[in-house]
């Protein structure tokens, strides 16, 4: 009886922590485990996860829970989300569960704050900023899309998500580390595929689990990066050829701000972020276009007008043409809204925060939940419908807003946003002007809570004319 009473008391104390104020409603679940199992439960639709939807209906747009051992305030409230983003570095700081830190590295850019974060962001913008996009990356992206689609059209069918991932990985890995799969003995992408399958999974590192495969993928990729760093550091006369060389130059300064650990974790995060998120969005986008012929017709019309205005109809895409793609921009935003690649954006309260009558205690995590905003019928009419026209006169979103957070917001607005938009626009341009396609099999989605295609999405491409 004493053990039972002790257990009941420990559960009660876990669910009723002492705070100065009124906690948001909700449950912290069982001690340590919390509601982690429910959080990771699969959701076979593009709608808000059952975990979040059920709690929104019960508790409202701000509620508490516990995931992987940490108390979390989940926000589907646009005002609170905006407040969190606008007060980073003062009232909140970037934070992710310990499992994410293990996966991305203890010195990853998401765990860094203040000057160091701003310094790394300025370095990355040398590669992904608009100047380099206009001067170099647009043409390279256009060529990659042209060549890849031609290759896929010569095959009976391709698994689209893997194919787009390979295309983007090869493109960005070449810019980051001069990686060329045909000349390398290391299959870098294979390591990242293993890594991604377990990225958002239950954190138990036992052989055979997705999380174990994820950590193995990280360890293998880091071995390659560390080996490359040693080789480059041993060649002081090496010319600067890629972004890794930029980081090496920073490490060679008399008083470097950068450390080797931070440089390696940054390279790892960039290799991951460069291809996985955009590939998922584009794969879903192709399926949505096939399911919505009116949208496909309007998109095709815009791109055919661009081609018709050229002296050479087979010329590469120009920056002026890219900037003229009004409807394409609307399509891209609508795909990003429905794809909801990032199910949650985490911050940590640096002090007790009072908001709408609730207290967020110092040290607690806040999970901004973009899908709950993007799929809110009070904000977006018929939210599950693929309707790019809803973005008319709103398509030029250069930063996060209260109602759109597909690329984050505030100080940590995604530095790769412009690259993602260029990738999506160039791919769609080549796709709708040169090809038709049909679904062979698959295409169903599942969220756990990240987006995936459990049966793949196999597509056959046919050249037009």
pLDDT for position 268: 86
Contacts of 13 (CB under 8 A, 6+ apart): none
pLDDT in tens, the chain (465 residues): 555 544 455 555 666 677 888 999 999 998 888 898 898 888 888 889 999 999 999 999 999 999 878 899 999 999 999 999 999 989 999 887 777 777 777 777 777 777 888 888 888 888 888 899 999 999 999 999 999 999 999 999 999 999 999 999 899 988 988 887 766 545 677 766 666 666 656 667 788 787 788 888 888 888 888 998 898 888 887 788 888 988 999 989 888 888 999 888 888 888 877 667 899 999 999 999 999 999 999 999 999 999 999 988 888 999 999 999 999 999 999 999 999 988 889 999 999 999 999 999 999 999 999 999 999 999 999 999 999 999 998 756 666 688 999 988 888 888 889 999 999 999 999 999 999 999 999 999 988 887 889 899 999 999 997
Using a pLDDT cut of 70, give the percent of the chain over it. 91
The three-class DSSP label of residue 131 is: helix
pLDDT for position 23: 96
Distance CA 346, CA 360 (A): 14
Alpha carbon separation from 91 to 42, 299, 351, 353 (Å, rounded): 33, 43, 6, 8
- Where along the chain do its domains lie? 2-463
Q: Domain 2-463's class? A: mainly alpha
- Residues 325 and 309: beta-carbon distance below 8 Å: no
Q: Where does residue 195 fall: left (phi above 0), alpha (psi -120 to 50 degrees), or beta otherwise?
A: alpha
């Amino acid at each position: 009886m004493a053990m039972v009473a002790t257990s009941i008391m420990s559960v009660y104390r876990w669910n009723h922590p002492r705070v100065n104020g009124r906690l948001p409603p909700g449950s912290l679940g069982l001690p340590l485990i919390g509601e982690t199992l429910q959080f990771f439960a699969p959701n076979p639709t593009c709608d808000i996860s059952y975990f979040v939807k059920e709690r929104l209906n019960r508790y409202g747009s701000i509620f508490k829970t516990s995931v992987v051992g940490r108390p979390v305030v989940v926000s589907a409230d646009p005002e609170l989300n905006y407040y969190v983003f606008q007060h980073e570095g003062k009232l909140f700081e970037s934070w992710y569960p310990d499992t994410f830190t293990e996966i991305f590295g203890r010195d990853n850019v998401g765990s860094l704050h203040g000057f160091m974060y701003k310094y790394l962001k300025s370095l990355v913008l040398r590669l992904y900023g608009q100047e380099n996009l206009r001067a170099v990356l647009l043409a390279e992206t256009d060529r990659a899309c042209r060549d890849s689609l031609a290759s896929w059209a010569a095959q009976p069918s391709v698994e689209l998500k893997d194919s787009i991932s390979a295309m983007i990985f090869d493109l960005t890995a070449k810019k980051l580390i001069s990686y060329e799969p045909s000349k390398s003995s290391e299959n870098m992408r294979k390591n990242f595929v293993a890594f991604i399958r377990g990225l958002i999974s239950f954190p138990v590192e036992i052989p055979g689990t997705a999380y174990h495969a994820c950590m193995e993928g990280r360890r293998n990729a880091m071995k390659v990066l560390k080996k490359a760093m040693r080789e480059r550091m041993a060649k002081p006369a090496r010319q600067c050829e890629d972004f890794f060389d930029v980081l090496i130059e920073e490490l060679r300064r008399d008083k470097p701000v950068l450390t080797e650990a931070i440089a390696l974790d940054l390279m790892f995060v960039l290799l991951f972020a460069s291809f996985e998120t955009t590939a998922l969005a584009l794969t879903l986008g192709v399926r949505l276009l096939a399911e919505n012929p009116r949208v496909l017709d309007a998109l095709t019309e815009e791109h055919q007008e661009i081609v018709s205005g050229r002296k050479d109809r087979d010329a590469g895409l120009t920056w002026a043409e890219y900037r003229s793609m009004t409807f394409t921009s609307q399509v891209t935003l609508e795909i990003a809204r429905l794809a909801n690649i990032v199910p949650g954006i985490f911050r940590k309260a640096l002090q007790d925060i009072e908001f709408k009558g609730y207290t967020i205690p110092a040290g607690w995590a806040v999970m901004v939940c973009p899908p709950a905003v993007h799929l809110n019928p009070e904000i977006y009419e018929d939210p599950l419908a693929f309707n790019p026209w809803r973005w008319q006169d709103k398509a030029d979103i250069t930063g996060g807003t209260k109602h759109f957070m597909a690329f984050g917001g505030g100080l940590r607005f995604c530095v790769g946003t412009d690259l993602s938009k260029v990738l999506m626009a160039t791919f769609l341009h080549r796709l709708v002007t040169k090809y038709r396609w049909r679904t062979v099999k698959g295409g169903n989605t599942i969220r756990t809570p990240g987006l995936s295609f459990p049966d793949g999405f196999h597509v056959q491409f046919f050249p037009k004319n």
